[in-house]
Chains A and B, each alone.
Chain A
């Protein structure tokens, strides 16, 4: 094979591989990237059941209930404008409590309940000393 043809073939292979990878990544991205919704956003968006969603808001006071199995909880996430009922099975993070911020990754089930796979208490203080967490809180509200 001539050097020129060789380089051309290599380049074609490279382009084909990169295009294939980009298509694969795009399809994975389209199906799996979770956009961040507040309950009000979620109500407007009419999300299909099963789509990956990240839900953020406050745990409504008085809404936290434990089911008899001892490991499943239900609570209501609110942003003041709308609410979403959430169900979660697992061990909740230390900072999770009524009235505090929460971020839940999961999907909507048929009937409008949100089934969370993971729960993060917002500004998770176990990761950092309190005054840093305070600064973090400030910057987060600035960003909004």
Chain B
């Protein structure tokens, strides 16, 4: 009954979504009666998706094996957290989460958007319903999460062991909030194109939504990177895997959008470009969904391979991206040109920011899609980290350089010499860092050397907007910008340290042997069995000593799961103030020795600490904008 109720809720939601679309079209054409119902319908639709999603969670937690999806992905011996999170650890469940967030985002617009012109708001909700309909259809016709099994099996097949980690409870929902949250920006752009209402008021209304989606994306990517780092046991934190790129591309576009929408809000410039970016950002989310959910990639994220689904998603992709671009092409001529600015100005800096972010986006998009396109022609090619690091790394470092100067520029017009004076301290620090690092570590690679120097310069420059200001009276969104930019510097320093100063030891050791890695002496003290309700493992005890004192104990494991039967290795990581000791237990050699892989990764934690700082900066900016929006609706100033 519960599964049927869930399915009914989905069908009803789809019907309301169609009604929302029809009513909003009628309303934009002047029908006042239908205009009244658009917002309540959007809210009701969201409640129905929430109900369906809640029912699916209920089925998973209760392990209702008469439902196909539960039987395939759940197991009664799993702990509660994983039965709960298994709801979205599969294709259908994650698509239902997609549609739910889409619905909730639409309800959010309907309930909380006060600044937007009412006609544009209705058109925006129409845009949201257009996206919704396609994905409802995908869910109901190609990925029904509530399908029943004629005869329930004795127990479920269980969840992919790599996913049996607390990360599963947080990483997909946050990433999806970001991914699908960008649909709001897309719908806003559609709404504005339909009603030809593009200007500072529109930008101010759109900005908090973009900011919110971008914060979730930032957290999702950062958490996903750390998850891959400790779960895969390969010692890396970013592999330029197509699935990772699928989350990076919307982030790059959203970051560009975030900066261009500020130009539109503050100076009424970059009108058409901002609309374009809003379309591109959500298009990247949809391309990402296609890459991950169509089954053309083999990865931990690709849960199932069904060619129909890939074709369905590809059709949706072409329909929405093509439709939005066509609308853009038709209407962009009617968007008035925005305000002018000088070549040395905050606006010009933000244009350069957008240009570089777009270049990086293009490089990543090409590297991700080109092998897939070639593969359909029968040519197999792999584009790996060497390509991405070089092709994306250079513009990224240029972007960081620019980022140090950008916030110190004035709107409209600035003086180049005055700017040089303002960035001089940061430039001096960067050069000093460059010389110091080169002297201390002569063999360091060029990218890492530049990365460390620029990180030092950016760290100082990012704090400069606070110089000689009353810190208590500095607006929250200025704090947000400062902290987010500082976070980039922190993250960059972590990346450069990890790539150039990591020490690695790969050995076959007997119990009792000691291995030196970085500042640690690691003794292989013992090997014992360990078990849990759904796995058993061999667990090594490693005693790590740094100088004198008591040893740290680390317990890397080689696990065997029962449902489904799989071997995984569980890393053990010790976090010190200046880095991480990362240990992996490998396979037995046969003569009593075991393979051990040990890393000393100095300052690697800065990578994720920086990522979270960026998200915190975003959150502060969002709170600042919302508070100012409530207090003083019409007036505006940035920094």
Contacts and interface: CB of A to CB of B under 8 A. Distances in A.
B307 interface: yes
Given A18-B359, A24-B394, A54 B506 contact: no
B298 A127 contact: yes
Contacts of A21: 359, 362-363, 391, 395
Contact of A52 (B340, B348, B367, B386): B386
Contact of A91 (B300, B379, B395, B587): B587
Given A31-B386, A139-B305, A127 B162 contact: yes
B342 to A, nearest CB: 7
Contacts of A52: 384, 386
A28 B305 contact: no
A32 B566 contact: no
A135 B506 contact: no
Interface string B334-345: 000000111100
B318 interface: no
A3 to B, nearest CB: 5
A54 B379 CA distance: 12
Contacts of A92: 587
Interface residues of B, number: 59
A66 interface: yes
B518 interface: no
Given A36-B382, A132-B305, A94 B342 contact: no
B227 interface: no
B589 A36 contact: no
B566 to A, nearest CB: 5
Interface residues of A, number: 46
Contacts of A31: 386
A13 B340 CA distance: 17
Given A21-B395, A36-B380, A1 B342 contact: yes
A28 B386 contact: yes
A128 interface: yes
A7 B599 CA distance: 52
Contacts of B381: 33-36
A127 B383 contact: no
Contacts of B343: 1, 6, 9-10
Nearest to B398: A17
B298 A136 contact: yes
Residues of B contacting A: mostly:
mixed
Interface in B564-599: 564, 566-569, 584, 586-587, 589-591, 593, 595, 597
A90 interface: yes
Contact of B160 (A1, A10, A127): A127
Interface in B376-397: 379-384, 386-387, 390-391, 394-395
Interface stretch (A57-65, A108-116, A118-126): A118-126
Given A3-B340, A9-B343, A70-B508, A128 B386 contact: no
A64 B569 CA distance: 22
B355 interface: yes
B383 A94 contact: no
A78 B133 CA distance: 50
A25 B507 contact: no
A44 to B, nearest CB: 15
B392 to A, nearest CB: 8
Nearest to B380: A36
Interface in B321-348: 340-343, 348
A127 B301 CA distance: 8
B564 A129 contact: yes
Contacts of B169: none
A129 B395 contact: no
Nearest to B239: A118
A126 B508 contact: no
A14 interface: yes
B299 interface: yes
Contacts of B595: 70-71, 91
A71 B508 contact: yes
B128 interface: no
Given A1-B343, A21-B395, A91-B586, A127 B300 contact: yes
A79 interface: no
B298 A124 contact: yes
B459 to A, nearest CB: 26
Contact of A25 (B300, B306, B366): B366
Nearest to A54: B382
A132 B162 contact: no
Contacts of B383: 29, 32-34
Contact of A125 (B157, B303, B395, B566): B566
A121 B557 CA distance: 21
Contacts of A24: 390-391, 394-395
Contacts of B506: 71, 89-91
Interface string B258-279: 0000000000000000000000
Interface of A: 1, 3, 6, 9-10, 13-14, 17-18, 21, 24-25, 27-29, 31-36, 52, 54, 66, 69-71, 89-92, 94, 105, 123-130, 132, 135-136, 139, 143
4 closest Cβ contacts across the A-B interface? A70-B508, A36-B380, A32-B386, A28-B390
Interface of B: 72, 157, 160-162, 233, 298-300, 302-307, 340-343, 348, 351-352, 355-356, 359, 362-363, 366-367, 375, 379-384, 386-387, 390-391, 394-395, 506-508, 564, 566-569, 584, 586-587, 589-591, 593, 595, 597
15 contacts: A6-B340, A17-B359, A21-B362, A25-B387, A27-B390, A29-B383, A33-B387, A34-B382, A54-B380, A70-B593, A90-B506, A91-B595, A125-B566, A127-B160, A139-B307
